[in-house]
Structure 1
Amino acid sequence: MMEFLYFPQDKTEYIPALITLLFFALGAFVTMRIILKAAKKEKEIVDETYDTHNIDESDNEPRS
């Protein structure tokens, strides 16, 4: 019966997998930073366009 998991005796076989893991983890990190930066710029544009900084607290209270 063949074993389901393969653990090589020569640990240098892990190096390509480690390089691939680091490559994709770095890519995910960079992508997340780009998305966050774009979202921050978009939020600033929306805030300037709709002037959401000057909303009074009394406007949010329910009317009687």
Structure 2
Amino acid sequence: MTGLFLLQLFLYFPEDKSEYIPATFWMLLFLVLTVLTFRWIVRVSKRQEEKTKEFEEEINRERQQQKQ
């Protein structure tokens, strides 16, 4: 019973719905920044993967040359 009362203290639904506009703006801004950051991380990860594959191929070529 006390938990329900505590939750009601923090709930606020404004009568003037224009108060939602700034919150919506900030939420959209952070959503866009999150998507851009995620795409940037994926792009950097792919570049690192390509570099790692090239390095691995180079090492394998060197090993093959040493065996011959």
Consecutive unaligned residues in structure 2, runs of 5 or more: 1-7, 61-68
2:22 is matched with which residue: 8, 13, 16?
16
What's the % identity of the aligned pairs?
41
2:31 is matched with which residue: 21, 25, 31?
25
Q: Distance in 1 between matches of 2:46 and 2:10?
A: 47
Q: Deviations over 1:27-52 (max 9, x none)?
A: 0000000000000000000001102x
Instruction: Give the structure-1-normalised TM-score.
Output: 0.73
Residue correspondences, number: 51
Consecutive unaligned residues in structure 1, runs of 5 or more: 55-64
Paired position in structure 2 for 1:41: 47
Over aligned residues, Cα RMSD in angstroms? 1.8
Q: Distance in 1 between matches of 2:40 and 2:47?
A: 11
Q: Deviations over 1:2-45 (max 9, x none)?
A: 84311001100000000000000100000000000000000000
- The structure with the larger Rg is 2
Paired position in structure 1 for 2:11: 5
Moved over 2 A (4+): none
Instruction: Give the structure-2-normalised TM-score.
Output: 0.69
